Amino acid sequence: MKTRVLTIAALIPMLAVAACDTVEMNGPGTGGTNNTATVRFVNATGTGLDLAQNGSVGTGMGNIVYGGSTSCFTVNSSSPNLSVRNAGGTTTISGLTTNFQPGGTYTVLAYPSASGATQFAVLPNTFTPTSGQAGLRVFNATGSGSYDIYTAASGGSFVTPSATAVNSGTASSFFNVAPGTGAQLRISNAGTTTSALTLNNLTWTPGQTQTLIIAPPATGSTTPRTFLVSGC
């Protein structure tokens, strides 16, 4: 597979952390109960999207742009009745398959295939960080490439990868990261020690989980983008 080097300066400003606000829940971060699951929908495509629940696009679920997301919301786990459309459209985009478990929490990600078609990933948020640590995973939504992920505290060195060979269309497992400010993260082409991208001055919060999305370039650019999404 042909590797490519990412441009550091263009990626760092694209980091955005989604707030972990929650509606219709039994308490922040608790997940659904009984026959409900808790979901956050995230858009990594270049097209605005509407998320419909039971056929209706509610407040905060319309025209979700690149890097945007909904608040956490609850659905019936056995019949969530979620559908995705282009913003303002009426035709459902096919491919969203859900298998939510009662009490579970999920990140549902829309991202482009190599040909540009919208596809979906349903990522369960089942990780509990070690006490005093934060949790992180990485999803490769670039359409090509494979990456190794290194993390380090402020001023630290990158020694052992926290995740390896994160292929396009897949997510790494969650891993623990040391909390605090000034953290660093390095993305390398898989199997190499050459830094393709280093992100600095990150902040990890104890007990919180996040997903780093490596997304395709904006139109007219060859540089992939990244953003962070908080778990519910």
- Please give the chain's pLDDT, 232 residues, in tens: 444 444 433 444 444 444 444 333 333 334 555 799 999 999 999 999 999 999 999 999 999 999 999 999 999 999 999 999 999 999 999 999 999 999 999 999 999 998 889 999 999 999 999 999 999 999 999 988 899 999 987 777 788 999 999 999 999 999 999 988 899 999 988 998 777 788 889 999 999 999 999 998 778 887 778 999 999 8
Q: 94 and 143 share a domain?
A: no
Evaluate whether residue 56 is within a structural domain.
yes
Q: 12 and 56 share a domain?
A: no
Evaluate whether residue 24 is within a structural domain.
no
Please state, as a whole number, how many other Cβ atoms lie within 10 Å of the Cβ of residue 90: 8
Global pTM? 0.83
Q: 13 and 80 share a domain?
A: no
Q: Number of folded domains in the chain?
A: 2
Domain span at 92: 36-124
Q: Give the domain-ending residue among 124, 139, 161.
A: 124
Q: 133 and 222 share a domain?
A: yes
Residue 141 near residue 226, CB atoms below 8 Å: no
Evaluate whether residue 111 is within a structural domain.
yes
Please state, as a whole number, how many other Cβ atoms lie within 10 Å of the Cβ of residue 113: 15
Cα–Cα distance for residue pair 46/66, rounded to 1 Å: 6
Q: 146 and 114 share a domain?
A: no
